[in-house]
Amino acid sequence: MSRVLTRFPDHGYLVCNSYTRSADSMPANSDLSSLSVRQLRARRRRLAASLADPQANLEGSLVSQLRRCGKEGCRCTQGELHGPYVYLSISRGADRRLVYVPADLAEAVRQHLTLSEQIEASLAAISAINLELLARRQLD
Ligand SMILES: [Zn+2]
């Protein structure tokens, strides 16, 4: 979990905590070269069979924010901010969008993100195997 501080000019949002997906999902594929083609294909089959349900896929990361409401005289103007509120942060290139996550859905969103991370890791591992098969001219 990283600590991020972001200020949005319109509402004075403050990001306090950022629950990001692990940035490095590349599998350690140094051991692939020691496996036979048959073993590589077996591993690929196992990875594909254990792939989490793709319907769970949800991209983004959870962030929690404290915010200012903008009302004059509110305690937040003295630095006692409201929240924290949970948002799903979705980045596409340089654009970042925040979608409010109601408290009773936060756990479901967290589970979706975990499954998405597993799907991504499995697909990356399958790709690494296919790359190894290609290098051996054994890609089928
Ligand atoms: Zn306020």
Task: Report CA(6)–ligand 1 centroid distance (Å).
Answer: 18
Centre of ligand 1 from the C-alpha of residue 1, in Å: 27
Query: Is a pLDDT exceeding 60 seen at residue 18?
Result: no
Longest dimension (CA), the chain: 71
Q: 46 C-alpha to center of ligand 1: Å?
A: 53
CB atoms within 10 A of CB 63: 23
H-type alpha helices, 2-105? 37-49
Higher pLDDT, residue 11 or 70: 70
Domain span holding position 67: 2-134
In a domain, 35, yes or no: yes
> Does a structural domain hold residue 140?
no
pLDDT at 117: 95
Residue 99 lies in a domain: yes
- State the distance from the centre of ligand 1 to the C-alpha of 78, rounded, in angstroms: 9
The pLDDT assigned to 15 comes to 47
Considering the domain boundaries, does residue 107 fall inside one?
Answer: yes
* Amino acid found at 114: T
Q: Is residue 139 part of a domain?
A: no
- pLDDT at residue 10, as a whole number: 40
Q: Is 90's pLDDT higher than 90?
A: yes
Mean pLDDT across 19-27: 46
pLDDT for 29 equals: 52
Average of per-residue pLDDT across 59-85: 94
Please tell me the distance between residue 105's alpha carbon and the centre of ligand 1 in angstroms. 24
Name residues with Cβ closer than 5 Å to ligand 1, which is an ion.
69, 74, 76
Model pLDDT, residue 127: 98
How far is CA 52 from each of CA 115, 118, 124, rounded to the nearest angstrom? 6, 7, 14
pLDDT on residue 4: 45
Q: How many domains does the chain have?
A: 1
CA-to-CA dists, residue 67 to 14, 102, 109, angstroms: 6, 15, 21
Whether 37 maps to a domain, the answer reads yes
Residue 68 Cα to ligand 1 midpoint, Å, equals 5
In this structure, what DSSP letter does residue 22 have? P
